[in-house]
Amino acid sequence: MTQSRPFVADGAAGIVLPPPRTPAPREAPALNWGVIAPGRVATEFVKALRNHTAQKVVAVGSRDAERARAFAERFDIPAAYGSYAELLRDDRVDIVYVASPHSGHFEHALRAIEAGRHVLVEKAFTRNAREAEELIEAARRRGVFLMEAMWTRFLPHIDVVRQVLDAGLLGEVHTVLADHGQAMEPAPAHRLFAPELAGGALLDLGVYPVSFASLVLGPFASVTAVGTKAFTGVDGQASIVVTTASGAHGVLNTTLFARTPTTASISGSRARLEIDGSFYGPAWVRLIGRDDRTIDRFVPEQRDGGLCYQAAEAARCVSAGRLESDLMPLAETLRIMHVLDTVRRDLGVTFPGE
């Protein structure tokens, strides 16, 4: 069980971080999963399911049959298919995890929805808000569960953050800071530099700080961005300022050009929270007073396999007959996609076919 560890400073007695309410992933009802696109992310997802949940992966589909077979052998998955269509015809599959690059999310998730499968779609949900709207409408017509796999939203330390905000421990929130930058070698063939694959920093990395700011601040009143394009024309770096109707600000950065601290903070009139890098994965949280002293800290007991929490949430929702999650509602996913569209417009970046 992940717990808060009190670390009370002078004059701060009585202000402590609450323990997370996150259910144990292994206790979630077991579903039969099919995995689309057995790449790096799918590998980490299946490892997390095997090590930390009761979920069962029963099929994997790839455009390359040999790749599917190798993945199935590695993880003892019963069925391997050389096409996504074959996987979707397997009636053992309750829910599909779409692990392809985000340029393929719309097509692959739509196929799964039309096949009557529940769907967990890797972030970023789609290339743009128009595609997101179509997926959501299709899932509602078909009556299947749909959720963005923004794994951060389901982690224990984020539940601690939610409770702190709900309890008003920080006072009035004024500023949110968050960044995510990775130093990527410039290679035209790499998907993050390929316009035809919806490359760039924003959808792959920047979605994390944008989603975090949305979680903390709620809907934005304004979104403004400046940036620098990479040599292929995709967004290489973006700095984003968001505001709320109450006057709070979020200052967010993403880049392909440098490894940044990947930290986040929430500053209020009474105290602030700091989340160590990488803030979007299982991380420490510190509650810090106005005197800059640490009042309390939360340390997650589980630092690996963080993708298990999103799978467990999906399994709980599907088993309960729910079509979306309160922790990552579809309306929230759609709002974030609209924000990302706005940022790309400010940067002058469009994808082929838009």
Would you please indicate which residues are annotated as catalytic (active-site) residues?
123
The three state secondary structure string of 15-66 is CCCCCCCCCCHHHCCCCEEEEECCCHHHHHHHHHHHHHCCCEEEEEECCCHH
Q: Residue 338 and residue 193: Cα distance in Å, rounded?
A: 22
Residues 344, 338: Cα–Cα separation, whole Å: 10
Q: What is the DSSP string of 203-239?
A: IIIIHHHHHHHHHHH-S-SEEEEEEEE-TTSSEEEEE
Q: Could you say which DSSP state residue 326 is in? A: S
Cβ neighbors of 40 (< 8 A, separation 6 or more) are none
Q: How is 67-112 classified by DSSP, letter by letter?
A: HHHHHHHHHT-SEEESSHHHHHT-TT-SEEEE-S-GGGHHHHHHHH
Residue in the block written with tokens 């996504």:
84
- β-strands 235-243, 249-255: how paired? antiparallel
Instruction: State how far the Cα of 310 lies from the Cα of 281, in Å rounded to an integer.
Output: 12
SS3 assignment for 267-292:
EECCEEEEECCCCCCCCCEEEEECCC
Amino acid at 167: A
Q: Which tokens belong to 20?
A: 């997370």
Distance CA 308, CA 304 (A): 9
